[in-house]
Amino acid sequence: MAEDVVFQKIDMKGKDIITIHDLSSKEVFHILKTTEFLKEKAKKGEVYQPLKGKTLGMIFHKASTRTRISFEVAIWQLGGYGLFLNKNDLQLNRGETIADTAKVLSRYLDAIMIRTYDHEDVLVLAEYADIPVINGLTDLTHPCQVLADLFTIYEKKGRLSGLKLAYIGDGNNMAHSLMYGCAKVGMNIAIASPKGYEPKEDIFISAKKDAEITGSSILITNDIEEAVKDADVLYTDVWASMGQEAEREKRIKAFQGYQINKALLKKAKQNAIVMHCLPAHRGEEITDEVMDGPQSVVFDEAENRLHTQKAILTLVM
């Protein structure tokens, strides 16, 4: 890929990354192309540091492995500095408003990444900050993960448009962002969840509008076999996410049968790949046999968080 891909006319400097729905299809593909460019450079051992002197503030209200490490390594590899801020480091817990915090951080930093529970907190932070705000995860959406997922699928399949992704499990933030992401790139998506655990209706409606533009389809069903039929990608997530620990036993009962295992994998296309955003509860939503099997791309997917987030930072900072 030509080096000037990063400097194409699609100007994303200063842009917030809150949901994939907020991005145009051209912007999504620009992020993916930039990811490819940066990954190629990294694999060749080439130093590329367009963010020298830049500082990324990273606010964490939720624990993290991949998000923290990938963002911290990403900004460092790009020549900048990542400042880790947990919930006890800021005055937010002592009564300072998010709006005031946003205004102050804008005077010190070049961008903010936040991983938190309430999606509204990210919206308020973005409204009052004068610098780009990146959603590292909320209970509603997880855009950075899905952008990495789309790149991984492109790497493995050579295309995105016209493929089918089957998501098996909770209609959570991952299901929401996968609907948005697939709709933007023309991928078909089928989501199979138990009754009462389907994705939010308003997310489905807004994603469907994007899908109508790109010609893709979105199916919400309780029927696992219907979702998996002719699927190019099988995807799952934990049955009980952070903050849902009290519901764990109830959810384990509700999600019985909503597991990606060898028998289910055989009902998808022969060359289907298997994905999981991690962390995985092995033996629940996915079996060891599948996760460690030849069709799993789970750890390639995890690696691509780094490359995709480097692309996001390069483009918006």
Q: Report, as residue numbers or ranges, the catalytic residues.
A: 115, 142, 145, 237, 277, 305
* Cβ-contact 186, 215 below 8 angstroms: yes
Neighbours of 6 (CB within 10 A): 17
Q: How far apart are the first and last CA of the chain?
A: 22
Rounded Cα distance, 133 and 124, in Å: 10
Q: What residues does 168 pair with on adjacent strands? A: 192, 236
| Alpha-carbon dihedral sign for residues 220, 232, 214, 135 | positive
Calculate the alpha carbon distances from 8 to 13, 26, 181, 205, 307 in Å: 12, 11, 22, 32, 18
